[in-house]
Amino acid sequence: MKMKISAALLWISAIAEAFLAIPLIGGSFVISTGYSALGFMFVLHAITLFFCFREFSPKSGPILGLITSLLAWIPLIGWALHLITAIVLFINAAFASRARV
């Protein structure tokens, strides 16, 4: 059985958000990239959202990811948003993976 593009992108973005939610490591990574990691994540979430609309997959994770990418520069709020977004994306990915192609 073939995996939907949206499901694969949901898994990838969930793992990336989970990495960014690791205290000190995620924040250090974002700062060391000059905050461009947040711009990359915004684009990744936008592409994921496009495929979620196209393939009728859950959309709450990518939408929350877009919001997180815009607000994650705020230290403690950014950490909490990355953590919540990662959890929602993992749930969305699980649902999208179980759906039939």
Tell me: the pLDDT tens digits for 32-51? 999 999 999 999 999 999 99
pTM, two decimal places: 0.94
Q: Residue 24, by phi and psi: left (phi above 0), alpha (psi -120 to 50) or beta?
A: left
Q: In Å, how far are 47, 58, 101 from 21, measured between CA atoms?
A: 21, 22, 31
Per-residue pLDDT band at 78 (split at 50, 70, 90): very high
d(CA 66, CA 69): 5
73's tokens? 């520069």
